[in-house]
Amino acid sequence: MSDDKHISLVRHFAATDEAPRDARNLAAEMLGRLPASEERGDDLTVILSELVTNALLHGGGEEVQVSLEGSATQIRVEVGDAGTNRFDWPRAPLDGHWGLGLVQAFSERSGIIRRPATLVWCELDL
């Protein structure tokens, strides 16, 4: 952590039923280290839980990577898995893909990066 309160947390979780809980614990760690973060704490917790659950259900592979980058003004979330199946964001929040719809509803920006494995990201303004 530097003087400007920029925090970076990266974890690799085994692709097990415990991964969403472990990701929520990582969110709590991030929120505990950032100023003025409580206002978006529930949003971050839901987002991480949904993205990690999606990675477990659809990504395949033996692990899920979670990266959180935080500052006093923003938190960026990235969740990666080994999945290569294509999917798109729902056209409207809660239109079909419930987990992705929640991520879209609770974040300001979001997207998908394929390399060819999947990395889903979003940003929350604080």
pTM: 0.88
pLDDT tens digits for range 62-99? 999 999 999 989 999 999 999 888 777 666 555 556 77
**What domains can you pick out in the chain, each with its CATH number?**
7-125 (3.30.565.10)
CB 57 within 8 A of CB 97: no
Q: Give the burial class of 14: count Cβ atoms within 10 A of its Cβ; 0-12 exposed, 13-18 middle, 19 or more buried.
A: exposed
pLDDT band at residue 2 using 50, 70 and 90 as cut-offs: very low
Give the dihedral sign, CA 26/64/16/48.
positive
Q: How far apart are the first and last CA of the chain?
A: 18
Q: Are 66 and 10 in contact (CB under 8 A)?
A: yes
